[in-house]
Amino acid sequence: MEDIWNNNMREIGWVESSDSEVGGDPDELMDEDPPVPSPRSFPTRAPIPNLDLSVIIQNRDFWSYCLHLMGRVLVVGREDRRYIVYFEHLDDMYFMYSGGPWSVHSALLTFIPWEPNMVISRTIISKVPLWVQFRGLPLEYQIPRVARQLGELVGGVLEVDWAPLIPRNIRFMRVRVLVQIDQPLLMATLLPLDTGDLFWVECAYERLYKFCKNCARMGHVHGHCP
């Protein structure tokens, strides 16, 4: 690992300097920066909103589960760029598996469940799960059945993010699909309407890793397209 302390002395302090040092150009000594004005003080009186603290506490509980895992995560072993990871809590394992793929130091990190008789050195990842958003759907077409049919055009459908709640997200339908990592991604599709017209629907992928706009594949960028 690079020695950052030796290469960045400003993080440690001043080097080879002294307040009692004598010398220098008198003109430079006289040409000092003007003093920085003091910050303006805030008013001592201001209106105070009457907040519902019970709602704040509920929201605090929600964020406490989002910002950190519940238990320990241990790397049991490694084979080349494949790792065996142990989760102390099953909820953490489900969260990492369903929320991926992840990006760690500009590298793709994806999880696959353990299977009996698995040999890690022979494990080949040819598919990764991705969340895709279908944008621009007419309101009456924003239903799980339509979202699933659109998702099947991209890959194997794993999950449709849908809940019959109001208010709801009307900007896009969200589907988790399993896609081939060596195949071009579907960027848009045409939706047939009941009027006989075709409607343009955009596909937007979440956490897309090193996407090439030339060949529409993952794993490299335009400047390294083969």
**What is the full DSSP assignment across 29-64?**
HH-PPPPPPPPPPPPS--------HHHHHHHHHHHH
pTM: 0.60
Residue 64's pLDDT band (cuts 50, 70, 90): low
Neighbour-count burial of 109, counting CB atoms closer than 10 A to its CB (0-12 exposed, 13-18 middle, 19+ buried): middle
Clarify whether residues 112 and 132 are in a common domain.
no
Clarify whether residues 102 and 152 are in a common domain.
no
Continuous segment of H or E residues that includes residue 144: helix 144-154
Q: Is 126 left (phi over 0), alpha (psi -120 to 50) or beta?
A: alpha
pLDDT tops 70 at residue 161 = yes
Say what the pLDDT of residue 11 is: 39
Clarify whether residues 76 and 151 are in a common domain.
no
Task: With respect to residue 138, please indicate whether it lies within any of the assigned structural domains.
Answer: yes
pLDDT tops 90 at residue 157 = yes
In the chain, what is the straight-line distance between the N-terminal and C-terminal CA atoms, in Å? 32
Spatial distance between the Cα atoms of 88 and 121, rounded to a whole number of angstroms: 24
Residue 156's pLDDT band (cuts 50, 70, 90): very high
Task: With respect to residue 37, please indicate whether it lies within any of the assigned structural domains.
Answer: no
Clarify whether residues 131 and 220 are in a common domain.
yes
Q: At which of 96, 122, 148 does a domain end?
A: 122
Q: At which of 122, 151, 169 does a domain end?
A: 122
Say what the pLDDT of residue 199 is: 87
CB 208 within 8 A of CB 218: yes
Q: At which of 98, 122, 146 does a domain end?
A: 122
What is the tally of structural domains in the chain? 2
Clarify whether residues 167 and 202 are in a common domain.
yes
Task: With respect to residue 59, please indicate whether it lies within any of the assigned structural domains.
Answer: no
| Contacts with 147 (C-beta within 8 Å, 6 or more apart), sequence order | 134, 160, 162, 173, 174, 175
Say what the pLDDT of residue 8 is: 43
Clarify whether residues 133 and 220 are in a common domain.
yes
Average pLDDT, the chain: 76
Say what the pLDDT of residue 80 is: 83
User: What is the amino acid identity at position 33?
Assistant: D
**pLDDT tens per residue, range 200-218:** 899 988 877 777 777 887 7
CB 193 within 8 A of CB 124: no
Residue 175's pLDDT band (cuts 50, 70, 90): very high
Structural domain harbouring 166: 127-224
User: What is the amino acid identity at position 150?
Assistant: L
Tokens of 81: 């760029």
Clarify whether residues 149 and 217 are in a common domain.
yes
Clarify whether residues 159 and 205 are in a common domain.
yes
Give the mean pLDDT of 48-66.
73
